Amino acid sequence: MKTIQYTIQDPMGIHARPAGLLAKEAGKYACNISVAVEDGTPVDAKRIMGVMRLAAKQGMQLNMTFDGADEEVAAAEFEEFLKENL
């Protein structure tokens, strides 16, 4: 299991467009990927509605957990994705 944290930089936070991008990116990997805001309940990162339900705002911390066959690759690539998109 691999975990990463990222503080949201986007002034708009996670709304429909970035939630869709995040879910689409998560769908590229075979491992299970969950995401939570700070101490919140984790949701499946591959489900856009769950990601939108996080209501993540600028300055909040995302905690992502990767568990499965390609977890190392997914975590490394997701760190770059988050920096570029959120």
Catalytic residue set: 15
Q: Residue 55's CB: how many other CB atoms inside 10 A?
A: 11
Structure-token match 């997701």, residue found:
78
CA–CA gap between residue 15 and residue 36 (Å, rounded) = 15
If residue 20 lies in a helix (H) or strand (E), which one and from where to where? Answer: helix 16-26
